[in-house]
Amino acid sequence: QQNVSININDLRTILYLYVRYDDTWDMQRFQKNFTMDIVDLDENCMEFDMVGIDAAIANAFRRILLAEVPTMAVEKVFIYNNTSIIQDEVLAHRLGLIPIKADPRLFEYRNAGEESGEDAGSEIDTIQLQLKVKCSRNPRASKDSSDPQELYLNHMVYSGDMKWMPIGNQADVFADANIGPVHDDILIAQLRPGQELDIIMHCVKGIGKDHAKFSPVATASYRLLPEITLLEPIEGEKAERLKRCFSRGVIHLEELNGKKVAMVVNSRLDTCSREVLRHDDLKNLVKLGRVRDHFIFTVESTGVLPPEVLVTEAIKVLMTKCQRFLNELDNTDME
Protein backbone atom coordinates (compact mmCIF):
# COMPACT_ATOMS: atom_id res chain seq x y z
CA GLN A 1 0.00 0.00 0.00
CA GLN A 2 1.27 3.41 -0.92
CA ASN A 3 0.45 6.65 0.87
CA VAL A 4 -0.35 9.80 -1.07
CA SER A 5 0.63 12.97 0.76
CA ILE A 6 -2.15 15.51 0.24
CA ASN A 7 -1.37 19.13 1.09
CA ILE A 8 -4.55 20.44 2.67
CA ASN A 9 -3.62 23.96 1.58
CA ASP A 10 -3.79 22.80 -2.04
CA LEU A 11 -7.47 22.00 -1.46
CA ARG A 12 -8.17 25.27 0.39
CA THR A 13 -10.65 26.49 -2.19
CA ILE A 14 -12.79 23.40 -1.74
CA LEU A 15 -12.62 23.67 2.05
CA TYR A 16 -13.35 27.37 1.94
CA LEU A 17 -16.74 26.67 0.42
CA TYR A 18 -17.67 24.64 3.49
CA VAL A 19 -16.04 26.92 6.04
CA ARG A 20 -17.74 29.97 4.61
CA TYR A 21 -21.19 28.60 3.89
CA ASP A 22 -21.61 25.64 6.24
CA ASP A 23 -21.56 26.37 9.98
CA THR A 24 -21.32 22.66 10.82
CA TRP A 25 -17.98 22.21 9.01
CA ASP A 26 -15.03 21.54 11.30
CA MET A 27 -11.71 22.41 9.61
CA GLN A 28 -9.52 20.81 12.29
CA ARG A 29 -11.55 17.62 12.23
CA PHE A 30 -11.22 17.44 8.46
CA GLN A 31 -7.45 17.90 8.55
CA LYS A 32 -7.19 15.15 11.14
CA ASN A 33 -9.48 12.60 9.46
CA PHE A 34 -8.96 13.16 5.73
CA THR A 35 -6.68 10.55 4.14
CA MET A 36 -6.03 9.33 0.62
CA ASP A 37 -4.31 5.96 0.12
CA ILE A 38 -3.40 4.19 -3.10
CA VAL A 39 -4.32 0.52 -2.76
CA ASP A 40 -3.42 -0.72 -6.23
CA LEU A 41 -1.68 1.00 -9.12
CA ASP A 42 -0.44 -0.18 -12.50
CA GLU A 43 0.02 1.31 -15.94
CA ASN A 44 -3.67 1.79 -16.70
CA CYS A 45 -5.64 1.09 -13.51
CA MET A 46 -5.71 2.62 -10.08
CA GLU A 47 -7.67 1.87 -6.92
CA PHE A 48 -7.47 4.30 -4.04
CA ASP A 49 -9.33 5.18 -0.86
CA MET A 50 -10.58 8.66 -0.08
CA VAL A 51 -11.64 8.88 3.55
CA GLY A 52 -13.26 11.71 5.47
CA ILE A 53 -14.92 13.67 2.66
CA ASP A 54 -18.49 14.45 1.73
CA ALA A 55 -20.27 12.34 -0.90
CA ALA A 56 -20.82 15.44 -3.05
CA ILE A 57 -17.06 16.00 -3.40
CA ALA A 58 -16.44 12.31 -4.11
CA ASN A 59 -19.04 12.36 -6.86
CA ALA A 60 -17.57 15.59 -8.23
CA PHE A 61 -14.22 13.82 -8.69
CA ARG A 62 -15.93 10.99 -10.55
CA ARG A 63 -17.88 13.29 -12.87
CA ILE A 64 -14.83 15.44 -13.61
CA LEU A 65 -12.76 12.35 -14.44
CA LEU A 66 -15.41 11.27 -16.92
CA ALA A 67 -16.25 14.55 -18.56
CA GLU A 68 -13.89 17.43 -17.77
CA VAL A 69 -10.29 16.20 -17.90
CA PRO A 70 -9.13 17.02 -21.46
CA THR A 71 -7.50 14.66 -23.98
CA MET A 72 -6.59 14.71 -27.68
CA ALA A 73 -8.87 12.93 -30.16
CA VAL A 74 -9.58 12.87 -33.90
CA GLU A 75 -11.93 15.74 -34.71
CA LYS A 76 -11.61 16.24 -38.49
CA VAL A 77 -11.26 13.45 -41.07
CA PHE A 78 -10.32 14.35 -44.64
CA ILE A 79 -11.01 11.32 -46.86
CA TYR A 80 -9.23 11.49 -50.21
CA ASN A 81 -9.92 7.90 -51.15
CA ASN A 82 -12.05 5.23 -49.54
CA THR A 83 -12.88 2.26 -51.75
CA SER A 84 -13.56 -0.10 -48.84
CA ILE A 85 -17.07 -1.31 -48.01
CA ILE A 86 -17.22 0.99 -44.96
CA GLN A 87 -19.13 4.23 -45.54
CA ASP A 88 -17.19 7.45 -45.07
CA GLU A 89 -19.21 8.62 -42.05
CA VAL A 90 -18.89 5.25 -40.31
CA LEU A 91 -15.17 5.16 -40.97
CA ALA A 92 -14.75 8.70 -39.62
CA HIS A 93 -16.66 7.75 -36.48
CA ARG A 94 -14.45 4.69 -35.92
CA LEU A 95 -11.32 6.79 -36.28
CA GLY A 96 -12.64 9.36 -33.80
CA LEU A 97 -13.02 6.77 -31.05
CA ILE A 98 -9.41 5.53 -31.23
CA PRO A 99 -7.47 6.83 -28.17
CA ILE A 100 -4.55 9.05 -29.15
CA LYS A 101 -1.40 8.98 -27.03
CA ALA A 102 -0.47 12.64 -26.66
CA ASP A 103 -0.19 14.75 -23.53
CA PRO A 104 -3.08 17.26 -23.73
CA ARG A 105 -1.33 19.55 -21.23
CA LEU A 106 1.16 20.44 -23.96
CA PHE A 107 -1.53 21.68 -26.36
CA GLU A 108 -4.02 24.54 -26.44
CA TYR A 109 -7.74 24.38 -27.16
CA ARG A 110 -8.61 25.12 -30.76
CA ASN A 111 -10.77 28.18 -31.31
CA ALA A 112 -14.30 27.27 -32.34
CA GLY A 113 -14.41 29.94 -35.02
CA GLU A 114 -11.33 28.75 -36.89
CA GLU A 115 -11.58 27.28 -40.38
CA SER A 116 -11.88 23.51 -40.57
CA GLY A 117 -9.91 22.89 -43.77
CA GLU A 118 -6.87 20.66 -44.02
CA ASP A 119 -4.55 23.66 -43.72
CA ALA A 120 -6.28 24.86 -40.55
CA GLY A 121 -4.70 24.30 -37.17
CA SER A 122 -1.19 24.89 -35.90
CA GLU A 123 1.54 23.10 -33.98
CA ILE A 124 0.13 24.32 -30.65
CA ASP A 125 -3.43 23.02 -31.05
CA THR A 126 -3.47 20.25 -33.68
CA ILE A 127 -1.97 16.81 -34.25
CA GLN A 128 -2.04 15.51 -37.83
CA LEU A 129 -2.21 11.79 -38.59
CA GLN A 130 -2.22 9.97 -41.91
CA LEU A 131 -3.73 6.62 -42.83
CA LYS A 132 -2.67 5.37 -46.26
CA VAL A 133 -3.08 1.66 -46.99
CA LYS A 134 -3.70 -0.24 -50.25
CA CYS A 135 -4.51 -3.93 -50.46
CA SER A 136 -2.95 -6.18 -53.12
CA ARG A 137 -2.61 -9.87 -53.88
CA ASN A 138 0.30 -11.81 -52.48
CA PRO A 139 2.28 -13.17 -55.46
CA ARG A 140 3.85 -15.82 -53.24
CA ALA A 141 0.56 -17.25 -52.00
CA SER A 142 -0.23 -20.89 -52.66
CA LYS A 143 -2.76 -21.50 -55.43
CA ASP A 144 -4.79 -23.82 -53.18
CA SER A 145 -4.86 -21.44 -50.24
CA SER A 146 -8.12 -19.86 -49.07
CA ASP A 147 -6.65 -18.03 -46.10
CA PRO A 148 -6.93 -14.21 -46.53
CA GLN A 149 -3.84 -13.79 -44.35
CA GLU A 150 -1.85 -15.62 -47.02
CA LEU A 151 -3.70 -14.49 -50.15
CA TYR A 152 -3.63 -10.72 -49.58
CA LEU A 153 -1.20 -8.05 -48.45
CA ASN A 154 -2.36 -5.19 -46.21
CA HIS A 155 -5.92 -6.49 -46.11
CA MET A 156 -6.32 -5.75 -42.38
CA VAL A 157 -6.08 -2.05 -41.52
CA TYR A 158 -5.15 -1.46 -37.88
CA SER A 159 -4.69 1.64 -35.76
CA GLY A 160 -0.94 1.02 -35.97
CA ASP A 161 -1.15 2.10 -39.62
CA MET A 162 -2.00 5.65 -38.50
CA LYS A 163 1.22 7.67 -38.80
CA TRP A 164 1.99 10.98 -37.17
CA MET A 165 2.75 13.88 -39.54
CA PRO A 166 4.38 16.69 -37.52
CA ILE A 167 3.18 20.24 -38.07
CA GLY A 168 5.65 23.11 -37.82
CA ASN A 169 8.26 22.43 -35.14
CA GLN A 170 6.41 19.49 -33.56
CA ALA A 171 9.09 17.03 -34.72
CA ASP A 172 11.62 18.80 -32.47
CA VAL A 173 9.32 19.64 -29.56
CA PHE A 174 7.76 16.17 -29.31
CA ALA A 175 10.74 14.15 -30.49
CA ASP A 176 10.45 11.73 -27.55
CA ALA A 177 6.66 11.80 -27.20
CA ASN A 178 5.90 8.90 -29.59
CA ILE A 179 2.61 10.46 -30.66
CA GLY A 180 0.05 8.09 -32.20
CA PRO A 181 -2.70 5.64 -31.24
CA VAL A 182 -2.47 4.18 -27.73
CA HIS A 183 -2.99 0.67 -29.11
CA ASP A 184 -1.67 -0.55 -32.46
CA ASP A 185 -4.04 -3.52 -32.81
CA ILE A 186 -7.45 -1.83 -33.10
CA LEU A 187 -9.08 -3.09 -36.31
CA ILE A 188 -10.31 -0.21 -38.48
CA ALA A 189 -11.30 -1.92 -41.75
CA GLN A 190 -10.77 -4.97 -43.95
CA LEU A 191 -9.76 -4.54 -47.58
CA ARG A 192 -9.57 -6.65 -50.69
CA PRO A 193 -7.21 -6.27 -53.69
CA GLY A 194 -7.63 -2.90 -55.34
CA GLN A 195 -9.28 -1.26 -52.34
CA GLU A 196 -7.44 1.47 -50.47
CA LEU A 197 -7.71 4.14 -47.81
CA ASP A 198 -6.10 7.56 -48.09
CA ILE A 199 -7.03 9.73 -45.10
CA ILE A 200 -5.70 12.74 -43.20
CA MET A 201 -6.88 13.26 -39.60
CA HIS A 202 -6.70 16.29 -37.31
CA CYS A 203 -6.66 15.67 -33.55
CA VAL A 204 -7.65 18.50 -31.21
CA LYS A 205 -7.99 19.01 -27.48
CA GLY A 206 -11.42 18.50 -25.94
CA ILE A 207 -13.38 17.20 -22.95
CA GLY A 208 -15.81 14.33 -22.50
CA LYS A 209 -18.66 16.76 -21.86
CA ASP A 210 -18.51 17.66 -25.57
CA HIS A 211 -18.05 14.11 -26.89
CA ALA A 212 -17.32 10.72 -25.33
CA LYS A 213 -14.23 10.29 -27.53
CA PHE A 214 -12.45 12.89 -25.36
CA SER A 215 -13.11 11.01 -22.10
CA PRO A 216 -9.74 9.94 -20.63
CA VAL A 217 -11.12 6.98 -18.67
CA ALA A 218 -12.69 3.71 -19.68
CA THR A 219 -14.46 3.81 -16.32
CA ALA A 220 -14.29 5.87 -13.15
CA SER A 221 -16.43 4.75 -10.25
CA TYR A 222 -16.56 4.58 -6.47
CA ARG A 223 -18.27 2.55 -3.79
CA LEU A 224 -18.60 2.84 -0.05
CA LEU A 225 -16.50 0.55 2.14
CA PRO A 226 -18.70 -2.36 3.34
CA GLU A 227 -19.06 -2.69 7.11
CA ILE A 228 -19.85 -6.11 8.58
CA THR A 229 -20.48 -6.42 12.32
CA LEU A 230 -21.02 -9.73 14.15
CA LEU A 231 -23.49 -9.01 16.95
CA GLU A 232 -22.52 -12.12 18.91
CA PRO A 233 -20.01 -14.98 18.60
CA ILE A 234 -20.83 -17.44 15.80
CA GLU A 235 -19.35 -20.90 16.16
CA GLY A 236 -19.31 -24.36 14.61
CA GLU A 237 -21.52 -25.17 11.67
CA LYS A 238 -23.09 -21.69 11.72
CA ALA A 239 -19.66 -20.14 11.32
CA GLU A 240 -18.93 -22.29 8.28
CA ARG A 241 -22.25 -21.32 6.67
CA LEU A 242 -21.59 -17.68 7.48
CA LYS A 243 -18.23 -17.89 5.74
CA ARG A 244 -19.88 -19.25 2.58
CA CYS A 245 -22.37 -16.36 2.58
CA PHE A 246 -19.62 -13.83 1.84
CA SER A 247 -16.94 -13.45 -0.79
CA ARG A 248 -13.71 -15.34 -0.28
CA GLY A 249 -11.44 -13.62 2.23
CA VAL A 250 -14.14 -11.67 4.10
CA ILE A 251 -14.75 -14.18 6.92
CA HIS A 252 -12.02 -16.25 8.57
CA LEU A 253 -12.55 -19.17 10.94
CA GLU A 254 -10.31 -19.28 13.99
CA GLU A 255 -9.88 -22.14 16.45
CA LEU A 256 -10.84 -21.06 19.98
CA ASN A 257 -11.23 -23.63 22.73
CA GLY A 258 -11.60 -26.38 20.15
CA LYS A 259 -14.37 -24.59 18.22
CA LYS A 260 -14.33 -22.70 14.93
CA VAL A 261 -15.30 -19.09 15.49
CA ALA A 262 -16.13 -16.65 12.67
CA MET A 263 -14.13 -13.42 12.43
CA VAL A 264 -14.45 -10.54 9.96
CA VAL A 265 -10.95 -10.01 8.51
CA ASN A 266 -11.45 -7.99 5.32
CA SER A 267 -14.86 -6.44 4.70
CA ARG A 268 -13.44 -4.62 1.66
CA LEU A 269 -13.71 -7.82 -0.39
CA ASP A 270 -17.45 -8.11 0.23
CA THR A 271 -19.68 -7.64 -2.83
CA CYS A 272 -22.74 -6.84 -0.67
CA SER A 273 -24.71 -9.84 -1.92
CA ARG A 274 -26.84 -9.98 1.29
CA GLU A 275 -26.81 -13.77 1.01
CA VAL A 276 -26.66 -14.04 4.82
CA LEU A 277 -30.17 -12.57 5.10
CA ARG A 278 -31.60 -15.75 3.51
CA HIS A 279 -30.62 -17.75 6.60
CA ASP A 280 -33.14 -17.26 9.40
CA ASP A 281 -30.69 -18.33 12.10
CA LEU A 282 -27.94 -15.98 10.87
CA LYS A 283 -29.63 -12.81 9.70
CA ASN A 284 -30.15 -11.47 13.22
CA LEU A 285 -26.53 -12.18 14.18
CA VAL A 286 -24.96 -9.99 11.50
CA LYS A 287 -25.29 -6.27 10.82
CA LEU A 288 -24.53 -5.11 7.29
CA GLY A 289 -23.74 -1.50 6.49
CA ARG A 290 -21.44 0.96 4.76
CA VAL A 291 -18.88 3.43 6.08
CA ARG A 292 -20.46 6.69 4.99
CA ASP A 293 -17.28 8.69 4.43
CA HIS A 294 -14.95 5.96 3.12
CA PHE A 295 -14.97 5.92 -0.69
CA ILE A 296 -13.18 3.25 -2.73
CA PHE A 297 -12.37 4.72 -6.15
CA THR A 298 -11.53 2.71 -9.26
CA VAL A 299 -10.04 4.59 -12.20
CA GLU A 300 -9.22 2.81 -15.47
CA SER A 301 -7.39 4.98 -17.99
CA THR A 302 -7.74 4.59 -21.75
CA GLY A 303 -3.94 4.80 -21.86
CA VAL A 304 -3.68 8.43 -22.89
CA LEU A 305 -2.36 9.43 -19.45
CA PRO A 306 -1.47 7.35 -16.37
CA PRO A 307 -4.39 7.05 -13.91
CA GLU A 308 -2.55 8.88 -11.11
CA VAL A 309 -2.07 11.86 -13.46
CA LEU A 310 -5.77 11.84 -14.32
CA VAL A 311 -6.71 12.01 -10.63
CA THR A 312 -4.31 14.91 -10.10
CA GLU A 313 -5.77 16.75 -13.08
CA ALA A 314 -9.31 16.14 -11.80
CA ILE A 315 -8.38 17.75 -8.46
CA LYS A 316 -6.99 20.77 -10.32
CA VAL A 317 -10.19 21.11 -12.35
CA LEU A 318 -12.33 20.96 -9.20
CA MET A 319 -10.17 23.57 -7.48
CA THR A 320 -10.47 25.86 -10.50
CA LYS A 321 -14.26 25.50 -10.53
CA CYS A 322 -14.47 26.26 -6.80
CA GLN A 323 -12.23 29.29 -7.14
CA ARG A 324 -14.32 30.60 -10.02
CA PHE A 325 -17.47 30.17 -7.93
CA LEU A 326 -15.91 31.99 -4.98
CA ASN A 327 -14.83 34.84 -7.21
CA GLU A 328 -18.38 35.18 -8.52
CA LEU A 329 -19.72 35.28 -4.96
CA ASP A 330 -17.18 37.91 -3.97
CA ASN A 331 -18.11 40.04 -6.97
CA THR A 332 -21.80 39.72 -6.07
CA ASP A 333 -21.13 40.76 -2.46
CA MET A 334 -19.21 43.83 -3.63
CA GLU A 335 -22.05 44.89 -5.91
What pLDDT digit, counting tens, does each position of 8-56 carry?
344 444 544 444 445 555 556 666 677 888 999 999 999 999 998 888 8
Residue 51 domain-assigned (yes or no): no
Q: In the chain, which residues have pLDDT < 50?
A: 1-13, 15-21
Residue 87 domain-assigned (yes or no): yes
Specify the DSSP class assigned to residue 334: H
Q: What is the pLDDT of residue 8?
A: 38
Residue 275 domain-assigned (yes or no): no
Count other C-beta atoms under 10 Å from residue 14's C-beta: 19
267's CB contacts (< 8 A; 6+ apart) are 225, 226, 227, 228, 250
Per the structure, the count of domains in the chain is 1
The DSSP H or E segment spanning 95 is helix 88-96
CA-to-CA dists, residue 298 to 147, 246, 257, 307, angstroms: 43, 22, 41, 10
Residue 102 domain-assigned (yes or no): yes
Give the Cα-Cα-Cα angle 111, 112, 118 (nearest 5 degrees): 80
CATH number of 173's domain: 2.170.120.12
Q: How many residues does the chain have?
A: 335
Residue 84 domain-assigned (yes or no): yes
Residue 144 domain-assigned (yes or no): yes
Residue 138 domain-assigned (yes or no): yes
Residue 63 domain-assigned (yes or no): no
Q: What is the pLDDT of residue 264?
A: 94
Q: Residue 159 corresponds to which amino acid?
A: S
**In a 3-state reduction of DSSP, which class is residue 29?**
helix
Q: How big, in percent rounded to 5, are the helix, strand and coil portions of the chain?
A: 30, 30, 35
What pLDDT digit, counting tens, does each position of 91-140 carry?
999 999 999 999 999 999 988 766 566 667 789 999 999 999 999 999 99
What is the residue range of 161's domain? 72-111+118-212
